[in-house]
Structure 1
Amino acid sequence: MNDIKRTQVQRSSETQTLLLEATIDCLIECGYMHTTTVEVVKRAGVSRGAQVHHYRNKMGLITAATEYLFLEFIDEIEVLSIELKKSGGDVNNFLHATLDKFFHGRFFFASLELITASRTDPDLTDRLIPLIKTLHQRLDDIWNRLYEVTETSPARVETLLNMTLCLLRGMALQSVLRDDPEYYAELLDTWKQILSSFLIRKEGIT
């Protein structure tokens, strides 16, 4: 009986994953406006009934897919930060890895669709706000752990994180219309120099 129940749970989880992955793919390839439950079901290869069972409508799908996407992104950043701290790496490695996620990962392109759509969709905005707050809180935690060995105050470290995120988002957004890697590399190098002047490691800590 337990095996049957576990199999049912696994199947349900697999169906949800298929729907969420299809929703993200549809957002990136078709845009928010053309992301429909019909298209998602088609891409996921599941029945309409299965979709309605898990996510009643488009907004339910979008909300769940956004949470799924944000968790995937932040988990990847968490792994990067752990690896960096273990290896004794510096801020440059972390910034490069994070920037790569913004520029080349699906997180950016799907997020761009959601943010643009939310400007004129109050319901979507209300759904996104708590998810974004959770994402930023986890980023704050990662950043603070990464730089707890510095002389910089926690409040300043948090401010520097937010400034870095604003820079990365702006660069990623601009890259849609300006494909110029050297230009962005120069901006990033300058920002890393600025960060280095604030994030000074404590005496005696390597």
Structure 2
Amino acid sequence: MSTPSTAIATANSERQFIETYTQLMGLSENTSPSQFYSTHDYDKLQSLGPSLPKFSYKFPTTVSAKADEGSSIKLKFKSIKPPFKITHEFDAPTTSTVYKIKSQLIEDVDTLKSAGVSPKDVKLMLKSKVVQDTSTLTSLVAENSELSFNCIITPPPASKEPEVEAPTSLSDSAFKQIYNIIKQDLSDPSKADEIFQKFKNSI
């Protein structure tokens, strides 16, 4: 419930607004746009009109406003799952994205770099929640002076060795050995030649 003094102050403020608004409305009669000064004629203005009361308003602050663009934050990383058991830390600007700090983590840790790990193979978790690559550290900082990430690092898929194609035909020496075997089993040379040709054509 408002007090009498508060009600009087509100009434005075509303009265002042109405008086100022009335002043503005009465500055001049409706005039065609051609009669108004252009930007080149501002020096001819004799008055800027009545002074309006100063209105103070406290705008809401966001988390991002708490972090200075030039500030940095300590980041800690820990992975306990084989084959990449790591602990690492470094400082990064609060404007960095999660994708960028993943890339820096891989660059700093030799075991990750040599294994060919990429940012897509790394998941960073903050309070049991996976943070997105597009998130900035500013949105994660809040009141913290450092961030500790749990890492889930998936080994990159092993590259497959190119398959060696089996030869599509036999060598001349192999054909010769097969022909000799057929010839030895058959007493008729013409029959042996016929069977050999059929075999050779089926390859």
Q: So what's the TM-score if we normalise by structure 1? A: 0.23
Q: Which structure features the higher share of strand residues?
A: 2
Relative contact order: is structure 1 or structure 2 higher (C-alpha 8 Å, sep ≥ 6)?
A: 1
Q: Which structure features the higher share of helix residues?
A: 1
Q: So what's the TM-score if we normalise by structure 2? A: 0.24
Larger-Rg structure: 2
